[in-house]
A and B are shown apart, each in its own frame.
Chain A
Amino acid sequence: MGIPMGPVSALVLSPIIGAILLMMVPQGRDKWVRWIATAFTAVPLLIALHCVYHYDKVLGGYQCLEKISWIPTLGINYQVGLDGISVVLVLLHSLCSFTGVLVSYRVQKRVKEYYIFYLLLIGGVAGVFASLDLFFFYLFYEMAVIPMFPLIGIWGSKDKEYATMKLTLYLTAGAVLALIGLSIVYLASGAQSFDLIFLERYLMQNPLPTQLQVWVFPFLLFGFGVIAPMWPLHSWSPLGHASAPSAVSMLHAGVLMKLGSYAILRIAMQLLPAGAQFWMPWVAIIAIMNILYGGFVAMAQKDIKFTIGYSSSSHMGYVLLGLACMNPVGLNGAVLLMFAHGIMTALAFAAIGHIYDQTHTRITAEWGGLARQIPFVSTLFIMAAMASSGLPGFANFVSELLIFFASWNVYRWSALAAIFGIVTTAFYMLRTVRTAFFGPLNPKWAELKDATNFEKIPYLILLAALMIVGIWPRSLLEIISTATPNILAHLK
């Protein structure tokens, strides 16, 4: 037994330690609470930046590995490390969580409890991206789901009680389904190990019988697919977005949903390649349902958070389509889209939260002309909307383009339908922007305040990330593409 000391452990444990510290802060010291939360999420952000910057692209593979034997009887190890995919997602996560903490400065009710749960959520999600052991992967996954319950249930709005229960039950149902799949893989492999790196190698040499793979794969696909969110299991997600407080929506849409596609990529596709070969054509069809169904439903929404919520589930369809292609371009596009979409949604929800806290309504039609009154925040939302519609110059454009290219030769019809999906996005995004931000200013909102200088910090961080990656996508693509060949090697 040693003590986990490396950078990746620090990244995962820092928010959790912060949460434990917060429990000891006396009631009513809200300022301390905010500072502690900020400090313990700033550390992971710095570590993530460091890891991305120093990621050795020539070497590739898993880096910054740490391994501690945890339960030798069952072959469970505490093992964390980052490869080209997870390092990018960890960066996304720490950006969203750090800015989320700053945005949450607006929370006034039960501040201490709020940050405790928020930090636990952050730690759980970081743990999932960093874990390279199936047991710990699952442990962190469930740890990430549960804090959502109080976060939405107490600090949410509208149908918060129904929404939070639905979200928790859907995600737990998916998790236990996946647990059964993971256990079967563990038992059937006969390797007596939950170590993901070891299992990857072991199963490459001793693959499981094809028939077994084909019937176990759905456990993992749909189990993790719930959080992806995969149609028709997505209905918890827009509701959850809409009811959550804005920082939680940012993390939820920005990062939490990516856990699903990440898990499918990392675990299901790598460990069960024959299962993937069998099921991925179906996933391509489901992905189209996601894109079109989500897009059409988003068009019909009156509440702006629901619009973005359905739009998110629509865009996750592109990610799934990218995964289903099972070629390097598709996977690279999918991972880049996870990043780009995460930043874009976080930005959109931050802007919506800023406005909603003052207007107390999110009905798009009741806003109107806000660009005159609060130009800065309006610009943010408009930028996010443009990125989401796939305007060149944003990373979303690059990644969606990659996915179209990748799917053109594999699933021609799906590619065509996916391209049509762009039209729906442009339709609802532009319409939302027009109704909410242009036209005559609704006189009710003449008192609305724009972001103060301090409030601009998180917004500018997110905007900068979106722009930098959009203009210079190679910065991340080069890292991502070191990891994709490893995964595809299993699928051959």
Chain B
Amino acid sequence: MMHTLFWILPEVWLSTIIFLLLALDLKWGEEKHPLMGLIAIAGMLPLFPILFLLAKEGGSHELFSGMFRVDTMALFFKGIFTVSGIVALVLAREFGKAVDRAHGEFYLLFLIAVLGMFLAASSANFLMLFISLELVAITLYVLVSYLHTNLQSLESGLKYLVLGSLSSALFLYGIAFIYGTTGSLHFETIHAMSLRAQTLPAGLVFGILLVLAGILFKAAVVPFQIWAPDVYQGAPTPVTAFLSVGSKALAFLVALRILQELFLPFSMAWNSVLVFASGATILYGNLCAIPQTNIKRFMAYSSIGHAGYLLMGITAGVDIGSAAVSYYLLGYLFTNLVLFLVITAVTLQTGSDEIKSFAGLSKRSPFLAAAMFIGLLSLAGVPPMAGFFGKFLLVLSALSQGYLTLAIIGAVAVVISLYYYLRVVQTLYADEPVDATPIKIGTTMKMSIVACLIGIFVLGIWQYPFLAISIRSIQHIF
């Protein structure tokens, strides 16, 4: 039996790295120090064995009088946050070479956001959850507007700040209503009450819906998706990558926790809303992605579409649906990261985010073009890539709950998405490059791309072990 404090080792380790970087940043001052990024990345790596050890131990463990809980789902999501954090740092290092303002604090902020996500994953109390989410949100506000001489970055930062604060307020207001009707902020207590409940108090429904609005905002789901394209486009690319993966995973983690774990007995209060939101989001994201000419904006709409798919799994809440959410997120993680790695490599060279600037990439760098091709196909859900099996599970789970229309919308959207993804592929392979100079990439970038590609194929071909992990990850919910 391990000491209870052992369970917060990942958070403690991460905080240590953060303080180390803070000290180093003070010491090294304004100059860009090449070691800073490397220390941040290397500091993240030990998290994998730690998380693995904890997952092997298994079980659900409460600390700090029930504020903090470590279960398999928390560990699973911490793994996702770690991967997205590492890749974001790799991108940030690459990005830092090209812009004048990228000092230690850029890395530091990423690490703090990851810490916030870790805490949120283990929150077992609404207050704790709110504080961790705010920790993430505030670091992200800074990160989005990091390029403070760039008007677009500032604009998107401001937009994110205003709308994000609004959603936080809604979330908090919802918590107040939940507290008002249940008399507790503690997940265990609320869960026990919802199991015993005979009636559905109106105040609680209102509270749940408000909390839901807060989550849907973070996940960029219709009707709270308006911010995403502008913010994705304006933010520095590493931040966009982190938003599209880490932040999205966080939103769905919270959705699984609150909706599936706490309020499943009240599913009639939120399920029809989610079914509608899911269908609308899938259609909105996929249709709006068609006319995009800017690759980051394009990725924003595509990620809205994927949020719709993930929501499908939450509405079809029985075990296979929730496991599908975990699986889909895992596949989406590697896929989106590959794409952002390629996008960063190309845009840093060409200095433009326009899709046009990717023309003839297959001649400039066959490796990057192939990676992007595979990534786009995986997003579209083509086998044998990761995206396929995730979508397959989601459609299966939606059908098993009798949501035929939703499943058909999801299936039709696959065709729509294939259209716009393949148009990018056409640009990569069939168009002539404007400038045929080969694109060179560094070793860390190349290694990250290869690692993510391996992830995509392994998840797409050898599904069983990962499906088993996904199923284990949701065991403590029910």
Contact = CB atoms under 8 A, between A and B. Distances in A.
Contact of B377 (A146, A161, A180, A187): A146
Nearest to B400: A187
A154 B418 CA distance: 17
B464 A72 contact: yes
Given A73-B464, A73-B468, A161-B426, A139 B388 contact: yes
Interface in B408-441: 408, 411-412, 414-415, 418-419, 422-423, 425-426, 429-430
B432 to A, nearest CB: 12
Contacts of A149: 422, 425
Interface string B379-414: 000111000100010011001100010011001101
Given A149-B425, A187-B396, A179 B411 contact: yes
B220 interface: no
B16 interface: no
A176 interface: yes
A165 B419 contact: yes
Interface stretch (A52-60, A166-174, A441-449): A166-174
A154 B429 contact: yes
B272 interface: no
A143 interface: yes
B414 A176 contact: yes
A153 B430 contact: yes
Interface in B339-376: 362, 366
B418 A168 contact: yes
B449 to A, nearest CB: 15
B299 interface: no
Contacts of A400: none
A73 B467 contact: yes
B15 interface: no
Given A153-B429, A165-B422, A184-B399, A71 B382 contact: no
Nearest to A135: B392
A306 to B, nearest CB: 23
Q: Considering residues B411, B423, B425, B467, which has the most beta carbons from chain A within 10 angstroms of its beta carbon?
A: B411
A176 B377 contact: no
B399 A142 contact: no
B60 interface: no
A39 interface: no
B425 A150 contact: yes
Given A71-B463, A161-B426, A169 B415 contact: yes
Contacts of A135: 392
B411 A176 contact: yes
Contacts of B471: 73
A32 interface: no
A475 interface: no
A486 interface: no
A71 B464 contact: yes
Interface in A179-210: 179-180, 183-184, 186-187
A139 B384 CA distance: 7
Nearest to A223: B411
A172 B384 contact: no
A472 interface: no
Nearest to B380: A172
B399 A183 contact: yes
A177 interface: yes
A70 interface: yes
Residue of B412, B415, B468 with most chain A CB atoms under a 10 A cut-off = B415
Given A142-B388, A143-B384, A179-B395, A153 B411 contact: no
A187 B382 contact: no
A236 to B, nearest CB: 13
A176 B380 CA distance: 12
B396 A176 contact: no
A113 B362 CA distance: 10
B464 A169 contact: no
Contacts of A161: 426, 430
Contacts of B411: 176-177, 179-180
A168 B422 contact: yes
A139 to B, nearest CB: 4
Contacts of A113: 362
Nearest to B431: A161
B418 to A, nearest CB: 5
Contacts of B408: 180
Contacts of B382: 142-143, 146
B464 A180 contact: no
A298 to B, nearest CB: 28
B412 to A, nearest CB: 7
B429 A71 contact: no
29 contacts: A27-B366, A70-B463, A71-B463, A72-B464, A73-B467, A73-B468, A73-B471, A113-B362, A135-B392, A139-B383, A139-B388, A142-B382, A143-B383, A146-B377, A150-B429, A153-B426, A153-B429, A161-B430, A165-B419, A169-B419, A172-B418, A173-B415, A179-B392, A180-B411, A183-B396, A183-B399, A183-B407, A184-B399, A186-B396
Complex A-B, nearest 7 residue pairs according to Cβ-Cβ distance, in ascending order: A176-B411, A139-B383, A173-B415, A71-B464, A183-B399, A142-B383, A172-B415
Interface of A: 27, 70-74, 113, 135, 138-139, 142-143, 146, 149-150, 153-154, 161, 165, 168-169, 172-173, 176-177, 179-180, 183-184, 186-187
Given A71-B467, A73-B467, A184-B399, 5 more contacts: A71-B463, A71-B464, A73-B464, A146-B377, A183-B396
